Every structure is written in structure tokens, then in C-alpha cells.
Structure 1
């Protein structure tokens, strides 16, 4: 690939957080990588399994089947112990969840069997290899829930597990799935942990950047938010004139052929720039947010010292940055990005989750709009995937699952209070048996990990409380004190 497209690949990485657009890492990939770094040893007892699934669980005329991958770990299991299933999300599944993390801790404390499923159309679990709308016809949360139900029924049919309680666990999108498994299959699932799950589908997800704003205002230090506003206001002003665009191209080393008068290209640029702030809010800590602000202050001072001359950032670099919308769409359509296309398809048909700048309570100017995302949907999947289609899918999703008030029991909804995704999650108890756990200073899905070095007491206590709830719901009386 030519050097001028190197930053396009960065944008591709920014474009999906696994949970929406424009965060630095795909959520499920990010969690898998972090989890792997915690593992000191991997059990030799972990097995890779495959199970036949229907293409369409709800169409009796559809006879085709495909094979779904899942992982099995029975090293901690003893007769009578529960079955734990970590639900796969929007990328390749990882067997790491069988060696550390909250599911491993629960299984160790209750003699449980552990499983990890892989979501259809991600990783090696693909009913079809195509990435057009016709192939993705069978990609939906409803079908994925039915896949996991079939897997659990198969496991429960084994003599060893006939009487075992079942607990499902998930984070981010798969946190939604965990709550919805208990909702849709209450006779099969006894309890669930729904970590950082944005259970409310929403087209214009402006609340995301409002939370980023709040985080930088609260933890960034004096002058931080004003500095961010000045940086983005300057970008906006430069893009309003040809001379300003030329100046911006020099400072940001934007490729000469990238037409920055095009609205979509400008929105790609803003999305890339905002993505860094998203990452620190979603996956960072309050200290990282503070340090990020300090680096911004330093950058601003250095830029002022240059008096508008050649940018100090890029003076030594030979490559250039291409923020071209059409080039990005073309890159998405490459074979290695099939998982990105799969998640974008789900946002275009079920969830929205379009992180916009439409709110005035954020510092990034209003240059990332809903139409940017819907244009992506139509460019990738066809003209019928327009805003009307997105809105209809969002409405259907909320009707099916109940939005912020799913009718469930024995589900714990956990969220970190600096996580921008928490703004679409359950933050108050739905009932005594559907409690919300909001963890101070915690980011996205932090409760899913095992206690580690540097974890503060509130996070450790939250994990302990979550495990206590699960044990009480499945009748593991002998283990409640652990």
C-alpha cells in the first residue's frame, strides 16, 4: 500500500470501536488483547469446538446450516457446578476468557464449566463469506441470541450438565446480548452479567461526546476544555477558506490530492481527530485524561511558537495523511476488513450508535453529523440503507428488547462512570433482581477483568459485589463469602 494511505489505515482502526464508529480500537478486540496480557499460563484443557447452526432460526423453509466456533474449558468444573458462557461480540472470539477475568474467577470459586462463543459473521464463524447486504441478511442480534440458545441447549443435554445453572456474561455489545439472552430465553439462562451494554439503540448518539466533554472538564485540569475548543474551532475556521485549507494541509500533512472542500472528507478529518479523545474516555483512566490535556497544552504552545510556519509535527515525515471518504469506503470493502463491514451493517440495520457532534455540550464543533454515517451505510450496502432504514431498525430493536427498561430479573447491569457508552446503559436499578452497578472512575468493561495491580478499591469491590449477586441467583450458597 502506498505511504499516502498509511493514515487511512489509522482511520480504519479509529472507525469502529467495536461498538460504533471512530474509537481507536474495536471493543472486543481491545478486551481480548488486554485480557491476554494478564494471562500467566494457559490451561492445556481448553478445547476448540464447532457446532452446527441454522442460517435462519426463524424461517422453517431455510434448511442450510453452518458451523459456529466456540471454546470449552472444564479444568475447574466439578459435578453439580454451573455453566458459564461468555458471549462473543463484534470480532473474533478469544479463548483467553477461559484463563482469567470475571468468568474465570466465578468458575474457580463455584467449580464451574466455562465456554466462549463466537458471534456469527466474525472470526471463523461465518455462514457466508460475502460482505454485501445479501450475505449479511443473516447477521442480527436476534439470530446470534438463537445461536447461543442452541449451544446452551446442546451443552445442557449432556448428562454432566442436566442440572447445572447457566450464567451468561458479556461486555459492550455482547453485554447487550447477555441481558437479552436472559430476556428472550429465561427458561435456559438463570443469570447474566451485562457489562457496559448500551441497551438503548439510538441513531443520533450525541450523548457519547457529551460524556467525553464531562470527563475532560472534570479530570483534564484548568483550561483543558477551553484548549480543546480552541483547537477544534481553529480547524473549523481554516476549512472555511482556500488559504486556510492550504495552511491546514501543511500543518497536518494532508495529501495534496485530498479535496478538503468536500464535506464528507472534512467529517473524516474531524472524526479522526475526535477519536483520540474518545479513546482516552472509553478505555483510559482519569490520570490518562489529565496527562492527555497536558500534552495538548504543550502542543498548542509549540504551534504558537512556530508562528504559522511549517508544522513541527510533520516536518520529518515523508508520508501524507489521506482523509478521503471515497478512499475509506474502498478500503472497507477489502477482504481483510470483513469484520468492520459486519459491525457497520449491524449499526446500519439495528443500532445506529452514530456518535455525532450535534450537541452543544461538547467542545469539538458540529462537524460530525448523522448524514455522514448514513452516507456510509448507503455507500457500502446500497441506496435502500438510508436514514429511514436506520431509524426503522433502531425502533424495532428497542421494541424487541425494551430499550433502557428490559423486563428481566437476575441480570446485573454494570457500567464505569467515565465510559461514554454508559449514557445508553442501565444506570439505575430496574428492580431488586435487576440492579445497576455504576463504578466510580471506571472505563469500558473494566469489571470483566480479574483484580490486578493498580486496580483501586471501588473497582475491586464492584467485582466482588457482582460475583456475590450471581452466586446468590444461582444458589451457590457455599461460595457467597468468597
Structure 2
């Protein structure tokens, strides 16, 4: 593929240039000769040659599209800093497939993804004639935010700084704290919750549990549009988890969609005209249920089983959801789908924390940005040294394009991010020729 020219694809005012890079399937075994094609996009719309930094947006547990370099806070930062913008899709997600198009899950890991990043950095440095010590800043949200922080940790000679948004850098098998944050949000009047809402949610899930234990399964299947009555324990556990996901999503992504927010959810759950709390639960599930991407969901499940855990159990009084949402049920998926026993999941999580440093990685020039409403902030570095904790903000809210209704704390956090991002390389780069073919 030919390199971009001014005004053409990837040029000034043009769409981002799409390319693909041949990556080793296994970076850590030089006898493995297979490879995969990894997609990326580059935009030089704002690039102030030759010294403008490179801002690299990392993909996570879903595919990327060119639009990630057309809008959002990273794009606005690129405009302000005169940056060359790049986005790298995570291996096996989206269009970055392995040999034959089917992913070999043995090679799906955060470590392989970081090695992909290092190879991509060296490729762009060569293709665009950059200095080896050119300033590179990594950005990412959620799992990709953790990758951004770990890139700075593992490759400080390649990555100058990182901004890690909503980044769970501490792996945890039993993530009961997730539901604790959701519970607090449902009762918080500042975001549209109320104690009445929390009580209604708890009563609704208690009624659901009563029906599941009382074997009123045909009615539950009708109410929640199940393919069949949930007669097996695993089916009941999965149904309860899926219904709880509606509430978890409304908190985690509060306000991303007008109807999908804590305020909208609590209005529905406290509306007595909708019948009993259980009937309100049935109605809310039908209104807000989102389909899940099957392929990406399986890939991410594999990564949780082999690296991270992140299973939100509901085992104490602080959780308002179903008591069928247990750690045992979620760990059983690892065994049933991939043959990975619970002890191996626990060992994998322990290794991840040892390898990256858990909540205290030994690195600097990493800015952790979290929303206080986001349940994932409890596994990140939220506030204090090296971190911003934004009151009332949700998951990756700082990465979204600015909106007129953004709270002052979110606007201030974006300004703080802009002030922290380095502008210039460590030393002057060599003059930049026209980019060679990619």
C-alpha cells in the first residue's frame, strides 16, 4: 500500500490511512513461523513535522474502526499538540485475525499484545523516518488502558508516557467490589439514584431468586425471553447474571445513551404504576437489554480465564442482585468452555499481578484517569499520585468527545490530561522524508 500524500488518504484533511502489519503469531518462540495480519490506522491531519509527537491509541477487547482517529479526546489532544495519530487493533479482535481466519487462543494474551505494540512502534519509526527517540504517548481505555500503562512499564525506551483511562491494572478473581460500586450508585441522588431505587432493585432480584428456587421456571423463561426454562443450575446462574448486567451497564456507562442511565433506570424501578418490583425488573430488562457480540465475548472470556479474573460475584448484603451470581458459577465457564480449572485461573491471576506489579507498577509518566461512578476504578490507580478521580464520571468518560452537558469535573480532567501530555521528543528528530510504502 502506498504511503499517504498531502490531501490524499491519511493526508491533511483526509480520512485516516488504513494499513496492516504482519506480526509473528508468537513473539516469544523464534521457531514459530506463522504470522497474523494486524490492522492499524494513521492520521497526519494535525501532525507538525518533524517534531510533533506520536499519539498511539490502543485497541482492546473489541475491533477498531477509522472513526477512532476522527473524534474523541485523543483526537483533540492530537490537534492541540500537533501529533501524528495512530490506532492499533488488538490481535484477534475485529479484523486482526490469525492464520486461516480462526484465532489460536494460545497466542491471545496481554503479553503478546504488548509485543505487537513494540513491533508496530519500530515499523512506524522506520516507515515514516522518525527518530528512534521520538516522543510516543500511548492512550487506552478499560483493558486497553491497562495495556497503555503496561507499555510504558515494559518499554520505557519506546514509550515516553501513557494515559490510562478506566484501566484495571490489578487482576482479581473475585471482583465483588464491582457490585458494591453499582449498589452505591443506585442509591446516590447526585447521579439520579435513591435509597428507594436500591430497595426496589434488591426486592426485584429477591423475587427473581424466589421464582428460580421455587421452580417457577416456565414463567421466568417467558418473562426474560429465554430460549427454554432454566432448569440446569448453570442456566439459572447465567440468566441472573445477564439480568444484573442491565443494571451494571447503566451505572458503568451512565448517560452514554439517554435511556441508559442511573436516573432513567431508577425512574423505572420506582414507578409503582408498573406493578411489583419484579414486574418492573421484567420491563426494564426488555427495554434496556443489549445484545452481546458472540465472537469477542468468547475471546475476552478466554483472557479473563488465563490472565485477569474480573468475576463480579454477589455474595454479601452490599450486593442488591441475585444470589445465583456466584464466583463458582463464573469460574465454571472457564472449565466448561476452555478446560481451565479454577486453581489454574487463580494461578494465572497471581502471575499477572506479579508480572505487571498489580496496583503499584514500578513506573512513572503514566496518568491514570478514572470516573468515580465507574466500578472498574477500584482496580485502577484512581486519585492520588499519578491519578485523576472524576466525581460523577463513568467508564472512559474522559475519552469521549466533549459535550455541552459535561460536568465541570470532567472538563477539568480533560484539561489536566492535556497539560500532562509531553509535547516534544527527548532529542530533536531527524528530518522527515516522504513516508515509504507501508
What TM-score do the two structures reach when normalised by structure 2? 0.85
Looking at structure 2, the residues matched to 51 and 250 of structure 1 have their Cα atoms a distance apart, in angstroms, of 48
8 A contact 1:191–1:474 mirrored in 2 = no
8 A contact 1:210–1:359 mirrored in 2 = no
8 A contact 2:81–2:423 mirrored in 1 = no
SS at match of 1:414: strand
Post-superposition CA distance 1:17-75 (Å, at most 9, x none): xxxxxxxxxxxxxxxxxxxxxxxxx9424111111211111112222222211001012
**Is 1:97 aligned to 2:68, yes or no?**
yes
Of residues 128, 142, 150, the one that matches 2:119 is 150
CA positional deviation for 1:126 = 1.3
Unaligned 5+ residue runs, structure 2? 1-11, 428-438
Post-superposition CA distance 1:67-111 (Å, at most 9, x none): 211001012112210011001111111221211212211211121
CA positional deviation for 1:247 = 4.8
Looking at structure 2, the residues matched to 157 and 54 of structure 1 have their Cα atoms a distance apart, in angstroms, of 18
Paired residues in the alignment total 403
Post-superposition CA distance 1:421-446 (Å, at most 9, x none): 1111112434xxxx110001000001
Unaligned 5+ residue runs, structure 1? 1-41, 322-330, 477-482
8 A contact 1:410–1:473 mirrored in 2 = no
CA positional deviation for 1:474 = 5.9
CA positional deviation for 1:185 = 0.2
> What does residue range 260-275 of structure 1 map to in structure 2 within 5 Å?
260-275=230-245
Post-superposition CA distance 1:305-345 (Å, at most 9, x none): 99x9xx9969xx9xxx9xxxxxxxxx99xxx8332221111
SS at match of 1:161: coil
Post-superposition CA distance 1:181-237 (Å, at most 9, x none): 000000000010000001111111111100000101113124111111111111112
Residue 33 of structure 1 corresponds to: none
Residue 406 of structure 1 corresponds to: 361
8 A contact 1:45–1:74 mirrored in 2 = no
**Is 1:470 aligned to 2:427, yes or no?**
no
**Is 1:340 aligned to 2:340, yes or no?**
no
Residue 21 of structure 1 corresponds to: none
Q: 1:305 to 1:347 in 2, by over 3 A?
A: closer
Residue 31 of structure 2 corresponds to: 61
Which piece of structure 1 moves more, 194-203 or 60-69? 60-69
**Is 1:231 aligned to 2:226, yes or no?**
no
Q: 1:158 to 1:301 in 2, by over 3 A?
A: same
* Larger helix fraction of residues: 1
**Is 1:447 aligned to 2:398, yes or no?**
yes
8 A contact 2:240–2:322 mirrored in 1 = no
Looking at structure 2, the residues matched to 370 and 442 of structure 1 have their Cα atoms a distance apart, in angstroms, of 28
Post-superposition CA distance 1:256-310 (Å, at most 9, x none): x42x342111112211211111111100149931331121122x5433499x9xx
Looking at structure 1, the residues matched to 140 and 308 of structure 2 have their Cα atoms a distance apart, in angstroms, of 17
> What does residue range 129-168 of structure 1 map to in structure 2 within 5 Å?
129=100, 135-158=104-127, 160-162=129-131, 163-168=133-138
**Is 1:352 aligned to 2:309, yes or no?**
yes
Of residues 159, 167, 188, the one that matches 1:218 is 188
Q: 1:274 to 1:464 in 2, by over 3 A?
A: same
Residue 327 of structure 1 corresponds to: none
Looking at structure 2, the residues matched to 186 and 195 of structure 1 have their Cα atoms a distance apart, in angstroms, of 19
Q: 1:50 to 1:248 in 2, by over 3 A?
A: closer
8 A contact 2:143–2:167 mirrored in 1 = yes
Looking at structure 2, the residues matched to 380 and 92 of structure 1 have their Cα atoms a distance apart, in angstroms, of 22
SS at match of 2:23: strand
RMSD of equivalent CA atoms: 2.8
Looking at structure 2, the residues matched to 274 and 379 of structure 1 have their Cα atoms a distance apart, in angstroms, of 22
Residue 187 of structure 1 corresponds to: 157
8 A contact 2:22–2:37 mirrored in 1 = yes
SS at match of 1:453: coil
Of residues 167, 186, 189, the one that matches 1:197 is 167
Residue 173 of structure 1 corresponds to: 143
